[in-house]
Amino acid sequence: MKILAVSDQIVERLYSTNVRENYPDVRMIIGCGDLPYTYLEFLVTVLNIPMFYVPGNHDPRHDLDNRSRAEGGFNLDMSVAYSQGLLLAGLGGSIVYHPNSPNQYSQEQMYRRAMQLLPTIWWNQLKYGRKLDLLITHSPAYGIHDDDDPAHQGLKALNWLIRMARPRYMLHGHTIFYRQNIQPHFTTYYDTEIINIYPSRILEINP
Ligand SMILES: [Zn+2]
């Protein structure tokens, strides 16, 4: 199954009325954060397929008013979902670098958020025989595709959650490496392939 994953930057080739002709066999959209919700709404409207996304540190605080969510998509932050044979879980946000800003968390706060996913993930193991297929985040995990400046340090809770849930893939954004040829975008960590989505990728994943 083909998945279109997007993050951090608008891709003109996608933000076009030709997107349906260009990607006729995509079956799911994943948003890894820091994108205008109008862009996500455009993609879900034109492609007319399920969309799951998490907020990034530049996105508004989530509440139920229209401007803080992408209409037609499912905000997967702190949630677990089952769609088209895939088990998904999401954790939005980044490490805190401006206190009291939305979607920014200390390492400790992120551990508490990650722990809240565990009961449902363990329930998946009982119900489906596996805990998780896709972990969708905005931030990278600690030490994997992250950077050493205060805004781009990875979250240790994500390393922990990967070890607990053993997803097949973790998709993230947030770290934008302009020297793409020397920065890895794919890293295997335990049983999980971690992929930096910035700015977009088509992934072929078997349900
Ligand atoms: Zn970000």
pLDDT at 26: 97
Q: How many Cβ atoms from other residues are within 10 Å of residue 79's Cβ?
A: 17
Q: How far is CA 82 from CA 39, 96, 106, 131, 133, in A?
A: 24, 30, 29, 11, 10
- Taking residues 54-58, report their average pLDDT: 95
Residue 64 reports pLDDT greater than 60: no
In angstroms, the CA 34 to CA 173 distance is: 8
How do residues 124-183 score in pLDDT, each as one tens digit?
A: 999 999 999 999 999 999 999 999 899 999 999 999 999 999 999 999 999 987 655 567
Residue 184's pLDDT band, with cuts at 50, 70 and 90, is: confident
DSSP string, the chain: -EEEEE-SS--TTTSSTTHHHHSTTEEEEEE-SSS-HHHHHHHHHHH-S-EEE---TTSPPP-SSGGGS-TTSEE-BTEEEEETTEEEEEE--EE-SSTT-TTEE-HHHHHHHHHTTHHHHHHHHHHHSSS-SEEEESSPBTTSS--SSTTSPPBHHHHHHHHHH--SEEEE-----S-TTTS-SEEEETTEEEEE-SSEEEEE---
Unique residue bearing structure tokens 């007319």:
48
How do residues 6-48 score in pLDDT, each as one tens digit?
A: 999 999 999 998 999 999 999 999 999 999 999 999 999 999 9
**Ligand 1 centroid – CA 129 distance (Å):** 33
Residue 2 reports pLDDT greater than 70: yes
**Ligand 1 centroid – CA 19 distance (Å):** 25
**Ligand 1 centroid – CA 123 distance (Å):** 30
**Ligand 1 centroid – CA 34 distance (Å):** 6
**Ligand 1 centroid – CA 126 distance (Å):** 34
**Ligand 1 centroid – CA 16 distance (Å):** 24
Residue 63's pLDDT band, with cuts at 50, 70 and 90, is: low
**Ligand 1 centroid – CA 35 distance (Å):** 9
**Ligand 1 centroid – CA 207 distance (Å):** 28
What six digits make up the tokens of 207? 């349900």
Residue 68's pLDDT band, with cuts at 50, 70 and 90, is: confident
User: Domains (ranges, CATH) in the chain?
Assistant: 2-204 (3.60.21.10)
| Burial class of residue 130 in the structure, from the number of CB atoms within 10 Å of its CB (0-12 exposed, 13-18 middle, 19+ buried) | middle
pLDDT at 186: 94
pLDDT at 179: 58
Q: How many Cβ atoms from other residues are within 10 Å of residue 34's Cβ?
A: 22
Residue 67's pLDDT band, with cuts at 50, 70 and 90, is: low
Unique residue bearing structure tokens 């820091």:
34
How do residues 93-125 score in pLDDT, each as one tens digit?
A: 999 999 989 999 999 999 999 999 999 999 999
Residue 66 reports pLDDT greater than 90: no
pLDDT at 65: 58
How do residues 69-97 score in pLDDT, each as one tens digit?
A: 888 999 999 999 999 999 999 999 999 99
Q: Please indicate, yes or no, whether the overall pTM of this predicted structure exceeds 0.85.
A: yes
In angstroms, the CA 152 to CA 154 distance is: 6
First to last CA, the chain: 7
